[in-house]
Structure 1
């Protein structure tokens, strides 16, 4: 009975309906009133990973963690508990080499890594990436901070728990975090839809700093999920207008969570362009997702992230993440953004111009 009830999460489908943008392609989102003055590149890196490159200042970049290792379903069922799951460093190196827009030089300029929650598909590959980002602070929940405590290349001061800084609703709008005079961050309390039925895998918190990294995928506890707002200003001045507001989250969430997040953003300065990075995984496991958020924000563009089947080797033909009906997702998006959405492959660039 368990196998039959879970069959939709075992099968995987074609990504054709999502029209994935080719790797290393550049798609332009043009919001220029007349002549364009500046741009922001959003480099897809795999699953929920993105590198943010504002062209006015390319010395201080922002990253959301990518996933390259992709342990398979048979491994997770049979091998994980017996042998554990570790980052595939050879795969990480190979995948990065195929993404010139997110090369070593650019990773070395990352100043902020934004973590939505602590599950393995967001944190497993981060420790071996961190030596490539010597100036990066990792922002996330207390759980994320404690999970990453054993990473010797990441000093204690570079692991930042945002629980006391995060916004919760319109009356508690949180505090902004400056990455540079051009970039401001804000964490907003979010949620995580169930993975299978009513079951959420690896729930709970890591209350104390770990001595070693988790051996199995189940050790990567979810913790408190957060969405992130990244504001890129028109010039490096805290009083300057917001050119692009990027709204990022790496898990689907119910209508009330989306509404409270929209309330928080309503208290913030208006933005010339709004781009939402949503998640395809488990989109239909949350009530009215992403309907409420899109209806409130009316973004100029939506990036569909977390759509790849990360239980499948990247050397095989790509599929959508298991349990996801790509056609139904497109039907869900269309009333809110029409054709103003895209689902980039790893390595593809979305260039927002204003």
Structure 2
């Protein structure tokens, strides 16, 4: 762990509640399990999802990068890529209980470099081509490692809530114009479908208002908003406020022609949400041009804390493939044997999604490439 920041300790009610809950070692929220039921694909392997009729002519790579991080690479134009932020700094449970409040938590830059070096599919050249960073919400497990990654992505705009924009204000290498709040652009339901964000002639984005299931019991950690730009980055994990969560649609066209059909639609979110939120998101997607193939990235963490998740979304979208994100235990050093994120029953998750998707799902380790061919 990098050296802590020195500052005065100001414990919040959420901090005290988290400390008390995490101290209960027998609690289900502390328990972790084997990833075997998820059959994670090997690191740096390529797994194929074919939607070819009659033959494959193009493809899209989705590179898993750890926790809820993914790099989207359309092979027809690899000059403008899309990233969902990864996390490599994994504060352990003991650190969160005893160290974070006392000393604070900073990005582990050595670990970030080490993990990136082990992922050829997310190499420095590709990161330099990232045009858009999509942030679902502002919690530390999605944002804490983004500031040290920003210099590696000089062309990237970061899209997220007002809270995300304000949390990242101290990042000197990220100009104001490169931090985009999507609150006024986001879709809400079938009647309020939001605005398209054009990344390239082949790529278009759309934010959809989403939600975040409770983290522990009925408690959602750091549920607030950052209403004004921060002068310094948050000192503790609790300073990374959630803000308004968003899901994202990434549409990849067949050709640069604006009238071209959508070849692959990627639907991404980084938190579980209840049935009504899923239904409204499905309404928005139903108003968009039809896609030849749809891939949905769902969240394993806290999946059973939201009503009928991800049932409603999968039933409406009927995707060709589902990728499991946020399944790896980010309270554990990546140098240790992998485990499933705390409080998650992997077997129950598989039972939940199978009626909707059958065997058309996969979990990817960091570095794994899911190649969607059409």
User: How far did 1:94 drift?
Assistant: 0.2
- Distance (whole Å) between structure 2 residues aligned to residue 353 and residue 52 of structure 1: 13
- Match of 1:230, SS? strand
Structure 1 partner of 2:122: 102
User: How far did 1:6 drift?
Assistant: 7.0
Structure 1 partner of 2:159: 139
Structure 1 partner of 2:49: 29
User: How far did 1:345 drift?
Assistant: 0.2
Structure 1 partner of 2:366: 346
TM-score (norm 1): 0.99
- Match of 1:62, SS? strand
Asked whether the equivalents of residues 6 and 196 of structure 1 are also in contact (C-alpha less than 8 Å), the reply is no
Asked whether the equivalents of residues 189 and 226 of structure 1 are also in contact (C-alpha less than 8 Å), the reply is yes
Describe how 1:169-248 pairs up with structure 2 within 5 A. 169-248=189-268
TM-score (norm 2): 0.94
User: How far did 1:34 drift?
Assistant: 1.4
Structure 1 partner of 2:295: 275
- Distance (whole Å) between structure 2 residues aligned to residue 353 and residue 37 of structure 1: 7
Matched pairs, number? 354
List gaps (5 residues or longer) in structure 1. none
Structure 2 partner of 1:20: 40
Correspondent of 1:149 among 166, 169, 173: 169
Q: Please list the CA deviations of residues 207-257 of structure 1 after superposition, one character each: whole Å capped at 9, or x if unmatched.
A: 000000000000000000000000000001221100000000000000000
Q: Please list the CA deviations of residues 98-157 of structure 1 after superposition, one character each: whole Å capped at 9, or x if unmatched.
A: 000000000000000000000000000000000000000000000000000000010000
Describe how 1:241-320 pairs up with structure 2 within 5 A. 241-320=261-340
- Match of 1:9, SS? coil
The question of 1:126 aligning with 2:140 is answered no
Structure 1 partner of 2:15: none
Poorly superposed stretches of 4+, deviation over 3 Å = 1-6
- Match of 1:322, SS? coil
Correspondent of 1:168 among 176, 188, 203: 188
Summarize the Cα distance change of 1:320–1:278 in structure 2 as closer, same or farther, 3 Å threshold. Answer: same
Asked whether the equivalents of residues 204 and 222 of structure 1 are also in contact (C-alpha less than 8 Å), the reply is yes
- Match of 1:12, SS? coil
Asked whether the equivalents of residues 60 and 109 of structure 1 are also in contact (C-alpha less than 8 Å), the reply is yes
User: How far did 1:26 drift?
Assistant: 0.2
User: How far did 1:92 drift?
Assistant: 0.1
- Match of 2:267, SS? strand
List gaps (5 residues or longer) in structure 2. 1-19
- Distance (whole Å) between structure 2 residues aligned to residue 299 and residue 35 of structure 1: 20
Asked whether the equivalents of residues 118 and 143 of structure 1 are also in contact (C-alpha less than 8 Å), the reply is yes
Q: Please list the CA deviations of residues 295-317 of structure 1 after superposition, one character each: whole Å capped at 9, or x if unmatched.
A: 00000000000000000000000
- Distance (whole Å) between structure 2 residues aligned to residue 347 and residue 195 of structure 1: 27
